[in-house]
A and B are shown apart, each in its own frame.
Chain A
Amino acid sequence: QDNRVSIWSAGDLGNAALNGEYHGEPHLLCDIEHNGDVMDMQFLDQERIVVASSTGAVTIFRHHQNNQTLSANHQWEKAHYHVDQDTSCGGAACTGVVCNNPEIVTVGEDGRINLFRADQKDAVRTIDNADSSTLHAVTFLRTTEILTVNSIGQLKIWDLRQQRNEPSQIFSLAGDRVPLHCVDRHPNQQHIVATGGQDGMLSIWDIRQGAMPVSLLNAHEAEMWEVHFHPSDPDHLFTCSEDGSLWHWDTSTNVSEKPSFFHQGGRSTAYLSHSTINQSVVSAWLSNDPTKDRMEITNLIPNQTLSVNSLDVLGPCLVYGTDAEAIYVNRQLFA
C-alpha cells in the first residue's frame, strides 16, 4: 500500500473573478509517504498539519512553502493502542483529530482520548478507557471542553480542566443505539451541535437543555461520514455519506430577506433590523418544526457512485474526496 499525504494547489484564485469559470486543474505541489491509512487530518497552523493514522500514530507534518516540500515534524507513534496487542502492529486506529494551536486532541478505536501539545514530546493528558466503544470523532466545544461521539450512539462532553476521567455530560438518542460518526459545533452559537449517524440521520442538539436531540433529520441512506457547519455562514450545513451523496442544508431565510454579506471571505455580521436580530439569534436549526421552516436541501453531486468520505468548506469553496479516488473542488459554492 502506498499512502501519501499530499498538498495540492487548486488553481489561481485571481482568475476566478473573470467569468467565474473553472481555471485549470488542481496540481500536486508536494507529498510525503504515510504509514497506514489517513483517518483524519487538520491544519494546526499555516504550516503544520496533524494527521491521524490507522496504525494508531499521530504525526505532525510541516509544509515548507519556500521549496514546496513536506517533512515529518513530530510523531506520537503509539497514541492509540490496544492493551492486548491484538492487531499486527499493536496499534488501534486513531479515528479523529482536532486542533486548537498548540493543543491537539485525538481519539481512537481504543476508546482513548489524548491531549497533546505541539511542542511537547509526551501527551499532556491521556484518558484511558474513556469509552468502552470506539470514539469516532472529536471537536472542541469550548477551549477547555471537547465533544466526542462513539459507536454506541452517545455524545459526550469532557471538561479537560477536571482531573476525573469521566465525561461531564452524556447525551444519547432514544431508541436504538445507532453509532454516531461525526460531530460539529455551530461556529457562533456554542450550544448547537450537529451529529451524523450510521443510519445517515442528522441530529441537531441543544446541549443546554435535555439529553435528547432537538431535531432528527432523515438524510442519507448510509453512514454519514462528516458534518460541517459553514464557518462564516452557519445557516449552511454540509454532510457527506457512504451512499455517495453530499448534501447542502440551507436554513437561511428566503433570498429577498437574506442580508447580502456574501462577498468572498466576508463574515456574516450584517443584520437588517432589530427584529431580525432576534430571529437570527434563535437559530433556524433549533426550530421545533423543521418542515415549517424553509430549509432547502440540495444534493451537490449529480452522478453519485462511490462513498464521499470527507469534505471541508471555507468561504465560497467546497472540497470533497470520494472512494473513486477523486477529489472535487467547487469554488463557486453560493453562485
Chain B
Amino acid sequence: TAGPLLLRLLDWVRLHVCDVDSMVREVLSSETPSKHKLFWNVVDVFVLQGRMDEARHLLSKEASANPTSMNMYKILDDLMKKMPVPSLGNTQTLTELELKWQHWHEECQRYLQDGTFASNPHMESICKILLGDEDAILEKKELMTTWYHFLVTRLLYSHPTVKPMELQFYAQSSMDLFLGGESSPEPLDMILMAAFEFEMHQVIKECSIVLSNWWFVAHLTDLLDHCKLLQSHNLYFGSNMREFLLLEYASGLFSHHSLWQLGVDYFDHCPEYGRVYLELHIERIPLSTEQKALKVLRICEQRQMHEQVRSVCKIMAMKALRNNRLGSALSWSIRAKDAAFATLISDRFLKDYCERGCFSDLDLIDNLGPSMLLSDRLTFLGKYREFHRLYGEKRFPEAARLLLTLMTAHIAPCSFWMTLLTDALPLLEQKEVIFSAEQTYELMRCLEDLTAGNPEKQKFQDDDVETTKVEMLRLALARNLARVIIKEGTVEGS
C-alpha cells in the first residue's frame, strides 16, 4: 500500500534530531529572521525534514524583504506546495502517487535546468534537494548530523513510496555515503541497521552487548513478546529469551538498596524461574533495620514462601538475642511460629534467672499471653514466673499446687527440677503446713526420681553443695510429712 512508512520515518527523524532546535528557535524569534545569518540553515533544516509548510512560511519572509527574487520565490513555493507525499488516509493508490510524483519530479528538473534559480545559490540548492540529488543533500551534513536522517531525506526525495522490506538496502548505502570512509559505524549504528533489516534477535543481541544495563533490552523483549513478534525459541538452559532477560534485569535491581522492591514484581512475572530467583535473592537483602525486615517478610508471606519467612525471622531473632533483646527475639519467633527458637529464648531467660536469682524483662514474661503456648519451655517459663508471683503475694497453697504441677505434668525440663525442689524449701519451712500428705509424697517421689535416676549424675552429686541440698530437702520433706499426717489425722474442733 502507499503506506505511511515514510511519514512515520519523518516523525521519527523530527523527534530525534534535535541538535538544530535551538538554532531554529533563535532564528524564528529574531526581529527580522530573513536577515539572520543562520536563516538559510533553518530553511534547509525544514526542507530536509520534509516540513514544507514551515519552510514556505520562512521563505515568504525572505520574499517580502527581497522583491527582486519574487518570481523565483513564487516558483519554488509552488513546487514545494505541490510536492506529492503519501497520505494517511488511502485516498490514492500507489500507482497514482507514483505517477504524480514522476510529473512533479520532472517539473522540478525543468526549472533547474532552465537556470531559474541560478542567481540564488540557496534556492538552487533547495531545488536540487527536492530532486533528490545526493550530493546536494550530503552538502548539508552538519544539519542532518546522522546517517539515518540522511536516509530518510533521501527516501523522501527519491523513493517516497518505499516499503518496509526495502529499507535495508537504502540503509546500508546511506550509512556508507554519509560516513564516507571517514569514520566507522558506532554500536548504535549497528543496532539501527539490524532494526532496518527487521532482525529482532540481532537488535536484542547488539543492545545486550553495548548497553550498560539490562533495562532497555528486557523491556523491549517483553513488549515484543507480548505482541507475539518474537519467535521465542527456548534457550538451552530452559527458559525463553524474554524470561531470561527479565530475570537478569530484576537480579540487577536486587543489588540496589531500595529498588529491590521493584525486582519482586519482575520475578512475579517470570513464570518458570521467577519464584526460585526470588527465593534466592530475597534471603540476601541486608536487613539493616527491623522495618526493612518486615517489608521483606510481608513479601514472602504474600507468596507463601514459608522457608524464607522462617529464615528471615531466625536471622532477626539471632541478632536480637545477641543484642540481649529477648523480647524482640521472642516477637520474631512468634511471627515465624518457630517453636524451637522460642525454646532457645526461654532457656536463655531461665539461665539468666539461675545466674542472677531474679528474672529480667518481667514486662515480657508477665505478659506472654497465648503466645506462651508456642513452645513447652516457654509455657514453663510463664508458669514458673507465675509461681514466683503467687509466692510474692503470699498465696502459698496456690503456689504450692502450681509448683507440683510443673513437675508432675512434666512441664518443667528435668534440668530444672532441682531448682524447683529448692524453691519448695521455703514453703516446707513455713509455720503453717502447706503441702498436703499426698503432695509431700509426690515431692518425695520427684526427689527420688531425680537422685536415683542417673548413676552418672550420682558422681556429680558427690559435690558438697548438691549433697547438702538433697539432704536438706529430704529432712524438710520428712518433717513436713510428719506434721501433715498429724494435722490431717486430727479431728477439727472439740
Which of B258, B290, B371 sits near A134, CB closer than 8 Å?
Answer: B290
Name, among A54, A111, A306, A307, the residue most crowded by chain B CB atoms within 10 Å (CB to CB): A111
Q: What are 14 sample pairs from A and B whose C-beta atoms fall under 8 A apart? A: A39-B289, A92-B323, A93-B289, A132-B325, A132-B326, A132-B328, A133-B328, A150-B327, A167-B363, A175-B369, A176-B334, A177-B367, A198-B294, A307-B295
The A-B contact count (CB < 8 A) is 101
B369 — which chain A residues lie within 8 A by C-beta? 172, 174-177
Nearest first, the 4 closest Cβ-Cβ pairs linking A and B are: A133-B327, A132-B327, A132-B361, A82-B323
| Interface membership of chain A positions 52-94, coded 1 if the CB is closer than 8 angstroms to chain B and 0 otherwise | 0010000000000000000000000000001110100000110
Instruction: Give the A interface residue count (CB, 8 A).
Output: 40
| Interface membership of chain B positions 285-298, coded 1 if the CB is closer than 8 angstroms to chain A and 0 otherwise | 00011110011001
Task: Identify which of residues 314-352 in chain B touch chain A, using a CB-to-CB cut-off of 8 Å.
Answer: 319, 322-328, 330-331, 334-335
Q: Please determine whether A86 and B294 come into contact, CB atoms closer than 8 angstroms.
A: no
A176 — which chain B residues lie within 8 A by C-beta? 334, 369-371
Q: Please determine whether A111 and B298 come into contact, CB atoms closer than 8 angstroms.
A: no
Q: Please determine whether B289 and A86 come into contact, CB atoms closer than 8 angstroms.
A: no
Docked CA distance A325–B256 (Å): 14
B295 — which chain A residues lie within 8 A by C-beta? 242, 307, 323
Interface of B is mostly: helix
Docked CA distance A84–B289 (Å): 17
Q: Please determine whether B334 and A177 come into contact, CB atoms closer than 8 angstroms.
A: yes
Asked if B261 is an interface residue, CB under 8 A from chain A, the answer is yes
Asked if B360 is an interface residue, CB under 8 A from chain A, the answer is yes
Docked CA distance A129–B364 (Å): 12
Minimal beta-carbon separation of B94 from chain A (angstroms): 46
Which of B257, B324, B328, B360 sits near A109, CB closer than 8 Å?
Answer: B328
Q: Please determine whether B370 and A175 come into contact, CB atoms closer than 8 angstroms.
A: yes
Having A133-B330, A177-B331, A323-B295, one finds 8 other A-B pairs with CB under 8 Å, namely A82-B325, A111-B325, A132-B326, A132-B363, A151-B327, A179-B331, A198-B335, A222-B298
Asked if A114 is an interface residue, CB under 8 A from chain B, the answer is no
Which of B288, B330, B335, B363 sits near A131, CB closer than 8 Å?
Answer: B363
Q: Please determine whether A132 and B364 come into contact, CB atoms closer than 8 angstroms.
A: yes
| Interface membership of chain B positions 363-382, coded 1 if the CB is closer than 8 angstroms to chain A and 0 otherwise | 11001111100000000000
Asked if A312 is an interface residue, CB under 8 A from chain B, the answer is no
B334 — which chain A residues lie within 8 A by C-beta? 176-177
B367 — which chain A residues lie within 8 A by C-beta? 152, 154, 170, 172, 177
Q: Please determine whether B327 and A152 come into contact, CB atoms closer than 8 angstroms.
A: yes
A1 — which chain B residues lie within 8 A by C-beta? 257
Q: Please determine whether A131 and B370 come into contact, CB atoms closer than 8 angstroms.
A: no
Asked if A223 is an interface residue, CB under 8 A from chain B, the answer is yes
Which of A84, A86, A151 sits near B331, CB closer than 8 Å?
Answer: A151
A111 — which chain B residues lie within 8 A by C-beta? 325, 327-328
Knowing A132-B364, A306-B261 are in contact, say whether A93-B331 is a contact too (CB < 8 A). Answer: no
Asked if A159 is an interface residue, CB under 8 A from chain B, the answer is no
Which of B289, B364, B368 sits near A54, CB closer than 8 Å?
Answer: B289
Knowing A174-B369, A177-B369, A242-B294 are in contact, say whether A54-B288 is a contact too (CB < 8 A). Answer: yes
Docked CA distance A176–B331 (Å): 10
Asked if A233 is an interface residue, CB under 8 A from chain B, the answer is no
